[in-house]
Amino acid sequence: MLGGVWSWRHVPGRLGYLLGGLPWAVVTFSVLISLLSAGIPLLILTPLGMACLWALVICARAVGAGERARLRWAGTTPIEAPAPAPSGSPTLWRRAWQAILDVDAWRAVAHNVVNFIVSMVSFSLVAVWLAVIAQGVSTWLDTHWIRLSADINTLGDLLLPASMRSAMGVHIADTALAVIALVTLPVLTFALVWMHRLLGGALLSANKSRELTRRISELNRRVGKLADAHSASADAEGEALRRLERNVHDGPQQQLLRMQMGLDTAKRHLADDPQRAAAMLDELRDRSQDTLEELRDLSRGLVHPLLVERGLGAALESLAERATLPVRVTNHLPEQLDRPQGIEQTSAQGLLLATSELLANVAKHAQASSAEIMVDALPAGSPQATNPGAQGPCPTLTDPARTDQPPAVQVRVRDNGVGGAVVVPGHGLDGVARRMQGLGGSFTLASPAGGPTTITLRIPLTDWSNRA
């Protein structure tokens, strides 16, 4: 923690820490005590008193950080800094009270008070040790160099009995004391810095119980988000199944019923009117082809064949080709991701379905003449997309303020329509947002009046290193 007890390698750093400790303690103690002495009586005049105490806790945290840095410079193991002061209150008054009630800041104040006393003791002991060494050296060179007059005695003069108090005896005694002080200097500096390290570790380190409570709260928050994501995923899948059921009921099922009735009619006319029956069979064959295409379209909503065969980029290009308006695809996915199984199938399918729904929404409501799909791979740490000018309850399902974002695949759908899109609970865009939430991703809408409308879909990649 402090190097060897007898090691001379850390002695210069320890000496600098201990000799500089007293001036540092005097200055910081004077500042903090002055603010404390002014702040407590002035609490009667609330604004001024609170301003003094607010300044006190800010200075105390700064002093604590400075002391941790000084201890690290002296060769000690780093002290874990406490959590940052809370600053989430919307009003200046509440932020001030939060700062004043900051336990870690008051622990730093207590440390400064105790450290002031300890620093005086440490400085005095080190000064005495260095004076003994200096006296021994000067005596060894010339016993009279440091004597200002004959009445001034050295330490040897004071310690030797009168019978041994000769010039040579004093010389030997001063030299011996200097050697002892020099040899024990590493031990002394080690012990004093160790004492300061214990004090700093007790009052300037992170509060383990509160840190544990904070981490438990963070875990509970994440568990809550996962539960919400699971619920949203279940709701989205349920809605998808209900939509599929409606589509099958209103489309292929009705077509098949009409085809069955047509076959019954053709069977009745087969004997008496073969030509009419043949014409009906030809019509039914064409209708069966249409029904088959409709079933294929529905199956694509379950698992797109191009997604399995060629990857996300090809599936999106196929989607753009079948759109009712011109759609341009800009694909910036690296080769490792733009391939079958390059992206987890559930994530890729979710992005594809969401993009399909967005294009359908553009065709129905945006009054747009064209659209664009932009696909990108984002490395870890990329900032979360924001919603400048967004309208309606646009859920951002990952925290924009975080800088530890995982690697992700991002799909942006932009149209040149009239803009003004909003998220309405229970309708199209809300379903897309919930689908993204169920996949652990994010949905962001920017749609100012007059356009353009840009919707950003992002799904994290937890195994980027294996895929990209």
Q: Where are the domains of the chain?
A: 11-203, 228-300, 305-467
In sequence order, the 6+-apart residues with CB closer than 8 A to the CB of 434 are 232, 235, 236, 239
Which ranges in 142-251 belong to alpha helices (H)? 155-159, 167-203, 208-250
What are 427's two structure tokens? 């309708």
> CB of 434 within 8 A of CB of 232?
yes
Closest CA to 12 of 79, 67, 75: 75
**Distance (Å, whole) CA 353 – CA 365:** 18
Residue 358 has a CB neighbour count (10 Å cut-off) of 24
Closest CA to 290 of 315, 314, 261, 258: 258
C-alpha dist (Å) from residue 238 to 69, 160, 190, 231, 241: 57, 97, 68, 10, 5
Q: What is the pLDDT of residue 372?
A: 92
Q: In this structure, which topology does domain 228-300 adopt according to CATH?
A: 1.20.5
pLDDT by residue, tens only, the chain of 468 residues: 555 677 788 888 889 999 998 999 999 999 988 888 888 777 666 677 778 888 888 888 899 899 999 988 888 888 888 877 666 555 666 777 777 777 888 888 999 999 999 999 999 999 988 888 887 777 666 555 544 344 445 665 555 555 555 555 566 777 788 888 888 888 898 999 999 999 988 888 876 655 566 677 777 777 776 666 556 655 655 666 666 666 666 666 667 777 777 787 877 777 787 788 788 777 777 777 777 666 656 555 555 666 667 778 888 888 888 787 888 998 888 877 767 666 777 778 788 888 888 888 888 888 888 899 999 888 776 665 544 333 333 333 334 444 456 788 899 999 998 888 888 887 778 888 887 887 778 899 998 888 889 999 988 876 544 444
Same fold, 228-300 and 305-467: no
Q: What is the pLDDT of residue 390?
A: 38
Domain 305-467 maps to which CATH number in 3.40.50.300, 3.40.930.10, 3.30.565.10, 3.40.640.10? 3.30.565.10
> Is the omega angle on the peptide bond into residue 452 within 30 degrees of 0, that is, cis?
yes
Strands 371-378 and 327-331: parallel
The number of CA neighbours under 13 Å toward the Cβ of 348 is 25
